[in-house]
Amino acid sequence: MKPGQITLNEFEVAILEHMDKDEPSLHPLIPQLRVLSREFTGVGSFTNFDCKGSSPDLGDYPVGYANISMPNVPNGMGAVLFCENGNPIAGKHYSGKFLVRIPPEVHRKLAIQAAESGVSLNRLASSKLSQ
């Protein structure tokens, strides 16, 4: 990304316009998108967007998937656009922490199970959630 570049590049616009065909409520938001950052992972990239508007029809889920054919890329490429509160986002970063409320009896049983297994309650919960 060029320093200070906040507009979408041609590739990002092409992907969004392709997604727009399946999700028309995305169309009015494309001109409002601004790039906060781009992260290149070595096997792909994430673009983090800021958007002044939102579309309630988009909700909180992946709204678009684009299958992209590329020369010299045997399996092609894919792109997914995620939304939060009807606002397009991408490359959301997660801290790895969240609060879960459970009944005290479930908490007690999990604590006992963790102690019997010789692991922390956190490790036990993480293992169970990963399954």
What is the C-alpha to C-alpha distance for residues 8 and 37, in angstroms, rounded to an integer? 10
Q: Identify the H or E element spanning 130.
A: helix 121-130
Per-residue pLDDT tens over the stretch 49-102: 777 766 666 666 566 666 667 677 666 666 767 776 666 665 445 567 777 888
CB-CB contact of 91 with 58 (8 Å): no
Confidence of residue 115 (pLDDT cuts 50, 70, 90): very high
Domain boundaries, the chain: 10-89, 94-131
Lowest-confidence pick of 6-20, 81-95, 116-130 = 81-95
Work out the percent of the chain whose per-residue pLDDT is above 90.
Answer: 8
CB-CB contact of 46 with 39 (8 Å): yes
Q: What are the φ and ψ backbone dihedral angles of 27, each rounded to 5 degrees?
A: -50, -50
